[in-house]
């Protein structure tokens, strides 16, 4: 007769490939019911947009079916988005919002708003509660892209009620000004309006709030990043050298305000010939390196040029809500899954590793006191060696491009900055400063006495 412990032991062999732990230790198994030979379990994932949901379901069924005495298996997959936090503290500006995603670009004309709209709708289609804030107040287009219209309404306490369309809530400057009226406010006035959007909109309870930022790195962007609890940013660009160079400024801005960049979306990446079926690059120079390779951030998606995408935008219909099953629709659906997975990974790593409470350089070591009381220690030279940026690690083979002996023995940090809730950026005396050291990596590399003893014991056991 199978029992609950047998089922949990079987499920502990099912690994989440993104979080790299088994679903039992992650707390995903919420309920186990056994009636005769029928086993029913409830699995709660960290996002309804989980890209490996069906794979995990299948593995759970197979693991339980392999137990003696089991005649039937029912696996119910649910999801609950975890609330984000900056340095472990919940947001006071958007208390009902769990995760905030900024969609940004360095320049206009790259399709940023189209990406933001389809990303938000795709997240909503997965079952998440989603809001979309059009903060591009000089060129608002979200209302048009969603087909929204009407006069804004307010609550009794004078908070703005968001509009609703295609399964999500949204607020856009395009619905607060007349159609042909130019927006000529100066930076401080624009920033004030954006702050009002954040604090005076009755968003309610949301799993994700997607913010469509205006292009560039000015007052509005800084106001949002400094006011909102932004969980992560998505950079939209085209495969052009000029677009990539301008977008790099946005990447640097998020680094300076400690917002993790989830990755890059290449819009208008290619088109497929309707006659011959061959894929053609439109903007990318032959042999040129792609933006995400230069920036050492993931590529979240490639959105192709398709005539139907432009036509649907003009009609106010997001592509992902149509019956289109072409390359663009698939790319947007995959983008939503990758963004949701990246946010889950950030939250998981933050919860597992904790946050640095104090950092200091002493002698030849970087000493980190973690908020769980752990006293970490890192040799400068070995820490510099373990930089994982594209300049230090071959992106194709994963091999390091320099040896420990090649690292300057006198190298030491000249500046250390915290990047969001997940990493440190270290500027080294040898001029290197592009590497991001995640909290999880720092905990793994710790050379304190306790960690050294555990590493030696583990090595001895493997031998």
Domains of the chain: total: 3
pLDDT-derived band at 3, boundaries 50, 70, 90: very high
Instruction: Please check whether residue 224 lies inside any domain of the structure.
Output: yes
Tell me the three state secondary structure of residue 32: strand
Average pLDDT score over residue span 74-91? 72
Strand partners, 15: 22
Dihedral (C-alpha) 284, 288, 290, 291: value to the nearest 10 degrees? -100
pLDDT-derived band at 184, boundaries 50, 70, 90: very low
Instruction: Please check whether residue 127 lies inside any domain of the structure.
Output: yes
Q: How many CB atoms lie within 10 A of CB 103?
A: 24
pLDDT-derived band at 211, boundaries 50, 70, 90: very high
What pLDDT digit, counting tens, does each position of 424-448 carry? 889 999 999 877 788 878 988 999 9
Residues 417, 436, single domain; the answer is yes
Residues 250, 309, single domain; the answer is yes
Question: Are 132 and 208 contacting, i.e. CB atoms less than 8 angstroms apart?
Answer: no
Residues 284, 149, single domain; the answer is yes
Which residue among 25, 52, 79 closes a domain? 79
pLDDT-derived band at 61, boundaries 50, 70, 90: very high
pLDDT-derived band at 462, boundaries 50, 70, 90: low
Tell me the three state secondary structure of residue 212: strand
Predicted pLDDT of residue 243: 60
CATH at 340: 3.40.50.300
- Strand-strand pairing, 97-104 and 206-212: parallel
Which residue among 79, 107, 129 closes a domain? 79
Residues 201, 270, single domain; the answer is yes
Share the mean pLDDT of the chain.
82
pLDDT-derived band at 4, boundaries 50, 70, 90: very high
Instruction: Please check whether residue 91 lies inside any domain of the structure.
Output: no
pLDDT-derived band at 67, boundaries 50, 70, 90: very high
pLDDT-derived band at 284, boundaries 50, 70, 90: low
Residues 144, 9, single domain; the answer is no
Name every residue whose Cβ is closer than 8 Å to that of residue 361 and which is 6 or more positions away in sequence: 367, 380, 412, 413
Q: Rounded to an integer, what distance in angstroms lies between the CA atom of residue 230 and that of residue 212?
A: 12
Question: Are 9 and 310 contacting, i.e. CB atoms less than 8 angstroms apart?
Answer: no
What pLDDT digit, counting tens, does each position of 302-323 carry? 888 877 777 777 777 788 887 6
Predicted pLDDT of residue 327: 81
If you write DSSP's letter for every residue of 372-396 in order, what string do you get? TS-EEEEEHHHHHHT--STTTB-TT
What is the model's pTM?
Answer: 0.76
Predicted pLDDT of residue 287: 44
Predicted pLDDT of residue 293: 62
Residues 293, 368, single domain; the answer is no
Predicted pLDDT of residue 90: 44
Residues 340, 378, single domain; the answer is no
Predicted pLDDT of residue 410: 94
Nearest residue to 437 (alpha-carbon basis) of 300, 296, 263, 299: 296
Average pLDDT score over residue span 150-168? 85
Percent of the chain at pLDDT exceeding 90: 37
Q: Rounded to an integer, what distance in angstroms lies between the CA atom of residue 442 and that of residue 435?
A: 13
Tell me the three state secondary structure of residue 338: helix
Q: Which of 33-42, 94-103, 344-353 has the highest mean pLDDT?
A: 33-42
pLDDT-derived band at 397, boundaries 50, 70, 90: low
Residues 147, 259, single domain; the answer is yes
- Strand-strand pairing, 29-35 and 279-281: unpaired
Helix-, strand-, coil-residue percentages of the chain, each rounded to 5: 35, 25, 40
What pLDDT digit, counting tens, does each position of 110-139 carry? 888 899 999 999 999 999 999 999 887 766
Task: Find how far residue 435's CA is from the centre of its chain.
Answer: 18
Residues 204, 331, single domain; the answer is yes
Residues 214, 254, single domain; the answer is yes
Predicted pLDDT of residue 408: 93
pLDDT-derived band at 294, boundaries 50, 70, 90: low
What pLDDT digit, counting tens, does each position of 8-56 carry? 999 999 999 988 889 999 999 999 999 999 999 999 999 999 999 999 9
In the predicted structure, residue 86 carries a pLDDT above the cut 50:
no
Q: Rounded to an integer, what distance in angstroms lies between the CA atom of residue 212 and that of residue 194?
A: 11
Higher pLDDT, 40 or 154: 40
Q: Domain of 178? A: 97-353
In the predicted structure, residue 75 carries a pLDDT above the cut 90:
yes
Nearest residue to 20 (alpha-carbon basis) of 344, 438, 399, 452: 344
Name which of 208-212, 266-270, 382-386, 393-397 the model is least confident about: 393-397
Which residue among 301, 329, 353 closes a domain? 353
Residues 388, 367, single domain; the answer is yes
Strand partners, 38: 35, 72
In the predicted structure, residue 182 carries a pLDDT above the cut 80:
no
pLDDT-derived band at 261, boundaries 50, 70, 90: confident
Place of tokens 């010939």: 273
Nearest residue to 391 (alpha-carbon basis) of 314, 323, 269, 293: 293
Average pLDDT score over residue span 2-13? 94
């Amino acid at each position: 007769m199978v029992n609950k412990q047998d089922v949990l032991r079987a499920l502990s062999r099912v690994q989440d490939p993104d979080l790299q732990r088994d679903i039992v230790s992650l707390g995903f198994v919420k309920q186990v019911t056994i009636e005769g030979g029928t086993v029913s379990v409830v699995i709660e994932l960290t996002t309804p947009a989980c890209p490996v949901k069906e794979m995990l379901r299948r593995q759970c069924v197979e693991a339980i079916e392999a137990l003696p005495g089991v005649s039937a298996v029912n696996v119910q997959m649910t999801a609950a988005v975890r609330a984000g936090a900056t340095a472990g503290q919940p947001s006071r500006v958007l208390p009902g919002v769990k995760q905030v995603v900024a969609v940004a670009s360095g320049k206009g004309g790259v399709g940023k708003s189209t990406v933001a709209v389809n990303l938000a709708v795709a997240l909503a289609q997965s079952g998440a509660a989603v809001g979309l804030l059009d903060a591009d107040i000089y060129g608002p287009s979200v209302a048009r892209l969603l087909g929204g219209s009407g006069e804004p309404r307010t609550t009794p306490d004078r908070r703005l009620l968001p509009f609703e369309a295609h399964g999500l809530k949204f607020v856009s400057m395009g619905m607060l000004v007349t159609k042909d009226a130019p927006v000529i406010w100066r930076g401080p006035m624009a920033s004030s309006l954006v702050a009002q959007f954040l604090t005076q909109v009755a968003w309610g309870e949301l799993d994700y709030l997607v913010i469509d930022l205006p292009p560039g790195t000015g007052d509005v962007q800084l106001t949002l990043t400094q006011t909102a609890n932004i969980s992560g940013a998505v950079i939209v660009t085209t495969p052009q050298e000029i677009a990539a160079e301008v977008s790099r400024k946005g990447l640097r801005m998020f680094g300076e305000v400690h917002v993790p960049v989830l990755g890059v979306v290449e819009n208008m990446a290619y088109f497929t010939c309707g006659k011959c079926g061959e894929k053609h690059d439109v903007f990318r120079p032959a042999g040129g390196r792609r933006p995400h390779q230069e920036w050492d951030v993931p590529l979240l998606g490639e959105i192709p040029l398709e005539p139907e995408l432009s036509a649907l935008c003009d009609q106010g219909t997001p592509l992902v809500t149509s019956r289109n099953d072409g390359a663009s629709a698939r790319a947007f659906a995959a983008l939503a899954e990758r963004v949701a997975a990246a946010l889950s990974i950030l939250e998981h790593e933050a919860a597992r590793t904790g946050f640095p409470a104090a950092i200091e350089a002493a002698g030849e070591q970087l000493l980190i006191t973690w908020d769980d009381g752990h006293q970490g220690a890192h040799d400068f030279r070995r820490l510099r060696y373990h930089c994982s940026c594209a300049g230090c690690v071959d992106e194709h083979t994963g091999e390091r491009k320099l040896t420990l002996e090649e690292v300057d023995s006198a190298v030491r940090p000249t500046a250390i900055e915290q990047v969001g809730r997940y990493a440190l950026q270290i500027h080294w005396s040898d001029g290197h400063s592009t590497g991001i050291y995640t909290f999880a990596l720092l905990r793994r590399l710790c050379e304190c006495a306790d960690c050294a003893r555990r590493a030696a014991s583990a090595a001895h056991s493997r031998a």
